[in-house]
Each structure stands twice: as C-alpha cells, then as structure tokens.
Amino acid sequence: DIQLTQSPSTLSASVGDRVTLTCRASQSISNWLAWYQQKPGKAPKLLIYKASNLENGVPSRFSGSGSGTEFTLTISSLQPDDFATYYCQEYDSYSSFGQGTKLEIK
Amino acid sequence: EVQLVQSGPEVKKPGESLKISCKGSGYSFTHYWVAWVRQMPGKGLEWMGIIYPDDSDTRYSPSFQGHVTMSADMSITTAYLQWSSLKASDTAMYFCARPSSGHSASYDLWGQGTLVTVSS
C-alpha cells in the first residue's frame, strides 16, 4: 500500500501570508496526486489534480507542484476563506489519503 | 445539475445492520466509478473502496474488506454501502465520491456525507 505523509500537521499563518504544504509518498506515484480542501462538516473540495492542474473555479492563488514522491501545495496569499484542513490523495493504484494539514489563523 | 445526494443521518445500536445510499444525477451514472470514504470524528479521510455500477466490479481497501459491502442499482442510479453487524467503531461520516475518469483519478464530485452513529 502507498502511504502519504503530510507536513506539517498544523500550520499557523496570517491573512496575506504565502504558505506551502508538503505531501510525501512512500513510493513513486508519478504525478497521480490531488489536493483537497475540507471545512468542518462539509465534503472535501478538489483543488488540484495530477499534481499541478488547477480545478475549474479554484482561485489562482492555489498551485501544486512535484512528481515522484515529493509534492507541495502553495497558497500565494492567504485569504480568510482558506483556513481549513488540506488533504493530499494519491491515485496511482486505487487510492489513499494523507492524514491532513490543518491551516489555522495565527 | 450534476450531483451525488446521500441518505440522511442514522443512529443504530451495535450489532444492527445498515445500508446507506448515494444517488447520482445529471451525468451517466453507469459509466463512472463511485468511491466511499470514511471520516471518523475529528480524524482524516480514509479510502474504503470503489464500485463500477455498470458491472458491479468492486475493489475494497484491505482495511475494510470483509467489514462492509458495496453495491449499486443502475436502474435508480444509486450506490450503497452496507454493514451486517455494526460496531461502535463504525461511528463516522461516510462520503461517496466520483472519480473524474476511470477508477484511478481525482474525485471531482462528492456527496454531502451521511453521519452514522452507533451507540448502545
């Protein structure tokens, strides 16, 4: 099974900050990686697919990069609506998720 | 509108059976896989498995194999997740989701979630 490890588990930041979240895979998954945003009590929302492709309707301040085993999600200038939990997902085999990074207001 | 609509919250006792549903509309339901994802209280997302409604081809995560059963009814464009004997540890929110293409793809469509509470 492919394991995904996200870091940090929690990140404190301020509106306007640039932040980078990391996801590491236990083996190479090429670019078969997605990023999701989840708010309490809601379903996850797809942000990035195939490591670096922005889903329709997602603000351009979100960007993804990486391949193989190392991936990042960057938010260029944090907005109040961005404080949430972020998950990476691999779909090289069937699928698995990372444990999440909670982005909280400093 | 393209959507997945899940059945409502459930409160059950340990040992009881349960079947929750996920109805797709606005797209060709039989030609997209449907995945199930568990989220225990305060925890992260766990991939449970996936089913192809057209032929009921199903793949389970080893963590859930034998504990749940996935099925689908094409005639009413609905996928199901069921338990024969619930445990307290099954208390969680359960989401259905649609991969954008094939079974290995990002999930571009999600249901709203079904909260299952198992308590004596």
Contact yes or no for B104 and A43 at CB 8 A: no
* Among B45, B59, B106, beta carbon nearest to A46: B106
- The confidence score (pLDDT) of residue A105 equals 92
Say what the pLDDT of residue B90 is. Answer: 98
Instruction: Tell me the nearest-neighbour CA distance from B82 into chain A, angstroms.
Output: 20
- pLDDT by residue (tens digit) across B54-64? 999 999 999 99
Does residue A100 belong to the interface with chain B, where contact is any CB pair within 8 Å? yes
Q: Which residue has the tokens 């960007």?
A: A63
Segment B21-35, tens digit of pLDDT: 999 999 999 999 999
- The string of DSSP letters for chain B reads --EEEE---EEE-TT--EEEEEEEESS-GGGS-EEEEEE-TT--EEEEEEEETTTTEEEE-TTTBTTBEEEEEGGGTEEEEEESS--GGG-EEEEEEEESSSSSS-EEEE---EEEEE--
What pLDDT score does A93 carry?
A: 79
Residue B88: per-residue pLDDT = 98
**Which of A94, A96, A101, A102 is the best mutation test for B, with the most CBs of B within 10 A?**
A94
**Residue among A38, A45, A93 whose CB faces B104 most closely:** A93
The per-residue pLDDT for A4 is: 98
CB–CB of A1 and B62 under 8 A? Answer: yes
- Is the torsion defined by CA of B43, A34, B108, A54 positive or negative? positive
CA distance B41 to B102: 30
Among the partner-chain residues B47, B62, B111, the one whose CB lies closest to the CB of A43 is B111
pLDDT of A30 above 90: yes
Res. A1: pLDDT tops 90: no
AA identity, residue B106? S
Strand partners, B22: B6, B79
Are B72 and B79 a contacting pair, CB within 8 Å? yes
Q: Are the beta carbons of A49 and B100 separated by less than 8 Å?
A: yes
Nearest partner of B55 among B36, B34, B26, judged by Cα: B34
What's the rounded Cα separation, in Å, for the pair A47 and A56?
Answer: 8
pLDDT, tens digit, for every residue of A43-89?
A: 999 999 999 999 999 999 999 999 999 999 999 999 999 999 999 99
B105 → chain A, closest CA residue: A91
pLDDT tens digits, residue range B54-107?
999 999 999 999 999 999 999 999 999 999 999 999 999 999 999 999 888 999
For residue A40, give the chain B residue with the closest CA.
B42
In the chain, the amino acid numbered B31 is: H
Residues 87-106 of B with CB under 8 A from A: 95, 97, 99-100, 103-106
C-alpha to C-alpha distance for B118 and B16, rounded to whole angstroms: 9
Please give the pLDDT value at position A59.
98
Residue A84: DSSP 8-state: S
pLDDT band at A91 (very low <50, low <70, confident <90, very high): very high
Distance CA B120, CA B117 (A): 10
B47 touches chain A (CB under 8 A): yes
Q: Average pLDDT over chain A, rounded to whole? A: 97
Long-range contacts of A64-69 (CB under 8 A, 24+ apart): A64/A33, A64/A35, A66/A23, A66/A31, A66/A33, A67/A30, A67/A31, A68/A25, A68/A28, A68/A29, A68/A30, A69/A24, A69/A25, A69/A26, A69/A27, A69/A28, A69/A29
- In this model, does residue A32 exceed pLDDT 90? yes
Return the residue matching tokens 């994802």: B37
pLDDT value at position B102?
A: 86
Does A49 lie at the interface with B, CB-CB under 8 angstroms?
yes
Q: Do B45 and A32 touch (CB under 8 A)?
A: no
